[in-house]
């Protein structure tokens, strides 16, 4: 689905000399000899660096979409070290000497983006991968906060958000009230969706657990997996700029979008892996995740830069969710 979406920002281009200048604070005696732009992300600039005197590459990440999220992401990597599979962060700076953007230098973790393996996921190993992904998600959600909300650079809840049904309804209505969203949905679908969200949001009143760390972009582009002799394993969860304190259903909704959600055995395996790693969910967790995911699609519709394909995908998912809501699983 994401392959036809447009980038939120342009990819920055740097010369070899400029990249060498950016690694000087931690590697003053090394030079960049080759660079390659990584695939997957649609917001920031991520570059694989090959350095002189070593065969070990690094990742340079430049924050262009929302520079204010850069330090938060770096502190999250530090917080989840040893808890969630993730790269080590070697350096962070709120500015760089070339473009001025915040940037970080990270360990390169080997693995394939899960989204690139979807067509090859047969039932014999989609279950193995799914269990690993579910266990990694439980590890993320094991990091808790005293309330839901957006995180500041120190990982404190800076801007609280409503929990349960009220939070979901408030955010959804704030999107639906925007002229651009109304225009893209049309009056009939907008009215239908507003009624649907207000009516079905009460399902969240059964969930009273602690607010937890939520990745908020937990999809196949940000999950690296690799096959070892012992089987498939998640090697890293990447790109934490959208992370916040919330309920866990947002991450499930993102993960189980098509095409991953349609892979035979994958959803059940994710649930099994989540439970086996200590995660807990209510009986209606799948419906709750789909309803949470509608808020993500509404957020896409608020973006002036969203291209026609992204808008069409958002509308299609929203309509499908409402049409299938009362169908048995």
pLDDT in tens, 261-297: 999 999 999 999 999 999 999 999 999 999 999 999 9
DSSP secondary structure letter of residue 220:
T
> Residue 211: pLDDT above 70?
yes
> By the 8 A CB rule, do 186 and 309 touch?
no
Mean local confidence (pLDDT), 209-220: 94
In this predicted model, which residue has the larger pLDDT, 48 or 119? 48
Predicted confidence at residue 162, as pLDDT, reads 81
Q: What is the C-alpha to C-alpha distance for residues 323 and 329, in angstroms, rounded to an integer?
A: 13
Q: Is the dihedral of CA 320, 322, 328, 329 positive or negative?
A: positive
278 SS3 class:
coil
> Residue 42: pLDDT above 80?
no
The total of other beta-carbon atoms located within 10 Å of residue 222's CB is 21
Predicted confidence at residue 9, as pLDDT, reads 58
What tens digit of pLDDT does each residue of 172-200 get? 999 999 999 999 999 999 999 999 999 99
CA separation, residue 278 to residues 1, 145, 225, 270 (Å): 31, 17, 21, 13
Domains of the chain, each with CATH number or no CATH: 11-107 (3.30.200.20), 112-323 (3.90.1200.10)
Predicted confidence at residue 206, as pLDDT, reads 84
Predicted confidence at residue 123, as pLDDT, reads 81
């Amino acid at each position: 689905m994401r392959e036809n979406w447009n980038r939120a920002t342009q990819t920055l281009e740097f010369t070899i000399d400029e990249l060498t200048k950016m690694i000087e604070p931690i590697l003053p005696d090394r030079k960049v000899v080759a660079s390659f732009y990584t695939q997957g992300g649609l917001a920031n600039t991520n570059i694989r660096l090959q350095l002189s005197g070593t065969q070990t590459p690094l990742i340079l990440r430049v924050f262009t979409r929302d520079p204010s999220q850069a330090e938060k992401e770096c502190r999250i990597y530090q917080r989840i070290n040893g808890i969630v599979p993730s790269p080590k962060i070697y350096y962070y700076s709120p500015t760089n000497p070339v473009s001025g953007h915040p940037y970080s230098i990270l360990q390169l973790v080997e693995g394939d983006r899960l989204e690139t393996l979807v067509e090859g996921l047969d039932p014999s190993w989609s279950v193995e991968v799914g269990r690993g992904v579910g266990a990694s998600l439980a590890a993320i959600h094991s990091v808790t906060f005293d309330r839901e909300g957006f995180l500041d650079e120190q990982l404190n809840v800076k801007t609280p958000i409503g929990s349960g049904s009220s939070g979901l309804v408030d955010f959804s209505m704030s999107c639906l009230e925007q002229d651009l969203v109304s225009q893209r949905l049309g009056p009939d679908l907008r009215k239908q969706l507003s009624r649907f969200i207000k009516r079905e949001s009460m399902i969240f009143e059964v969930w009273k657990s602690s607010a937890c760390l939520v990745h908020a972009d937990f999809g196949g582009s940000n999950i690296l997996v690799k096959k070892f002799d012992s089987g498939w394993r998640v090697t890293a969860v990447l790109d934490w700029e959208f992370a916040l304190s919330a309920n866990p259903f947002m991450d499930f909704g993102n993960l189980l979008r098509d095409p991953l959600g349609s892979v035979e055995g994958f959803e059940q395996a994710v649930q099994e892996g989540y439970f086996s790693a200590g995660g807990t969910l209510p009986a209606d967790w799948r419906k709750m995740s789909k309803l949470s995911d509608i808020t993500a699609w509404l957020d896409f519709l608020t973006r002036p830069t969203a291209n026609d394909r992204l808008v069409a995908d958002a509308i299609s998912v929203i309509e499908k969710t409402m049409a299938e809501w009362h169908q048995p699983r």
